[in-house]
Structure 1
Amino acid sequence: MPMSIDDIEPRQAAGAESEVLLVERDGGIATLTLNRPKARNALSEDLLDALSHALLRVEAHRDVSVVVLAGAPPAFCAGHDLREMNEARNSLDRGRAAFERLFTKCSNVMQQIVHLRQPVIAAVDGIATAAGCQLVASCDMAVAGDQARFATPGVNIGLFCSTPMVALTRNVPRKHAMEMLLTGEMVGAEKAERLGLVNRVVPSGTALAAATDLARQVAAKSPLVLRIGKEAFYEQLEMPLSEAYRHTARVMTENMLARDAEEGIGAFIEKREARWTGE
């Protein structure tokens, strides 16, 4: 039976989050749904705050193993809220302080996803543009409906997608990333899969169900091993080859001493299901 965020943490933290972000928990899976459908789930400051708070609360919950990130139809996320941003120009500094706060806040949320102990899977139906494309690229995996489209179209409106570029270039080969950034053209789901931006493409309207199925597959593993693996994955990416091998050898040594490794290897040898403790 699905549970709300109130089953994870006390009600006091809900506030605006209950309006712009929907959070459900079903077993070891927490689903966060961007809920500004009329604005195509654009990342307003309220939504970024809600997403940041929800990630903190979900991460603190030991029984949550995987997070699925979705958008209320008809879009996944259209990027930043340009109307909200334009209103900030009326201030004496022409919006400088507001823009710095917004881009810093958004960058922090993207890093939260990367550093979250649980794997995060994006379920993409509809468009994922600008910071919405950045959001997909920041997730550990992504499932897209076959009508989903991706773009970093800031160049078309005089605003280069500089912060989305950070996540995009860590997912997509350099020349393809430059093409997306310099042309602003939409990329279909199948091409996004070829480029490595998404893991798999499914029939339109089924991305959330498919992402949830993938999440269940992942959630069946040891939560300790998921945390160790995700952390080591991102750490070694930034290291030279020899340092990466030294680091991951240390990680595997510590992992082998964990109870879940002993249990998992024992279960494999004895041909039985493993019983994970997360230790």
Structure 2
Amino acid sequence: MALLERHDTGAVAHLRMSAPERLNALSDEMLAALKAQIDALGEDRTIRAVVISGEGKAFCAGHDLKQMQQGRQTEDGGKAYFAALFARCTEVMTGLQRLPQPVIAQVHGIATAAGCQLVASCDLAVAAEGTRFGVNGVNIGLFCSTPMVALTRNIPRKQAFEMLSTGRFVEAEEARQMGLINRVVPGAQLADATAELAETVAGKLGAAVKIGKEAFYAQAQMGIDEAYAHAGQVMVENMLWRDTEEGIAAFLEKRSPDWTQ
């Protein structure tokens, strides 16, 4: 069985982390598999939404601690290995946001440390009731500094710092209220609810969602005046497309649009 399984349903790609015995930890091998799929999806214009899930009793428990301890067995005590590991993890997390397709986390069980970072790095997230989220590295003496980057761009600062500094876990409904996830559903409905959201996104004009996702993350890093100027330019470009003209005409004429993209 592959470490990361992919199957496509129409325009939706489903990526399932398949290392349940390790709680789908982000091992060197798992990060490499995720990076390979991200690279492939970035070039795949038939896919309009991506779902990431985990097999077994957990979504993802973060970095593989046993593997990290093995990385210490070098002359520099693991310094170069750890630097490379966190750089590769960052490449995966930022790669998800750079994909043209919206990425949805389908979360159950636990999402801890870099696993919580993975949820925060996805564009959308649906969680099963009873799911627990934590950036709990501080409990073992390791502050979750890289997960912090994604977390603080999802939830308010004081709530983020409390999670980071205490190692406290939050339940799914609290995570939704904070803004870490979009929806909480019964566990039996998780796959269907996530698929429904993915299919809704995939049903939109792909080029419009792509340009919108790029603009969404770009403007979030800008001051308000620069953000409005950038967003205005994006809307002008979008409005000039043939498919956008067709979409507006179809709406006014109360019919389905005849899109080419």
Q: TM-score, normalised by structure 1?
A: 0.92
Q: Which position in structure 2 is the counterpart of 1:116?
A: 99
Q: Among 203, 207, 212, which residue is 2:190 paired with? A: 207
Q: Among 175, 190, 196, which residue is 2:179 paired with? A: 196
What's the CA shift for 1:275? 2.3
Q: Which position in structure 2 is the counterpart of 1:25?
A: 8
User: Matched residues in 1 for 2:42 and 2:260: separation?
Assistant: 17
- In the TM superposition, 1:136-175 aligns within 5 A as 136-175=119-158
Instruction: Say whether residues 1:50 and 2:33 are aligned partners.
Output: yes
User: Matched residues in 2 for 1:223 and 1:277: separation?
Assistant: 10
What's the CA shift for 1:270? 1.3
Tell me if structure 2 keeps the 8 A contact 1:73–1:125: no
Percent identity reads 53
Structure 2: where are the runs of 5+ without partners?
none
- Secondary structure (helix, strand or coil) at the match of 1:150 reads strand
Instruction: Say whether residues 1:274 and 2:250 are aligned partners.
Output: no
What's the CA shift for 1:49? 0.5
What's the CA shift for 1:180? 0.4
Q: Deviations over 1:125-146 (max 9, x none)?
A: 1100000000000000000001
Tell me if structure 2 keeps the 8 A contact 1:40–1:76: yes
- AA in 2 matched with 1:248: A
Q: Deviations over 1:26-62 (max 9, x none)?
A: 1000001111100000000111010011111122111
Structure 1: where are the runs of 5+ without partners?
1-17
Q: Among 200, 204, 223, which residue is 1:221 paired with? A: 204
Tell me if structure 2 keeps the 8 A contact 1:224–1:260: no
Tell me if structure 1 keeps the 8 A contact 2:105–2:122: yes
Instruction: Say whether residues 1:106 and 2:68 are aligned partners.
Output: no
Instruction: Say whether residues 1:77 and 2:60 are aligned partners.
Output: yes
Tell me if structure 1 keeps the 8 A contact 2:38–2:95: yes
- AA in 1 matched with 2:173: E
Q: Which position in structure 2 is the counterpart of 1:96?
A: 79
RMSD: 0.8
What's the CA shift for 1:276? 2.2
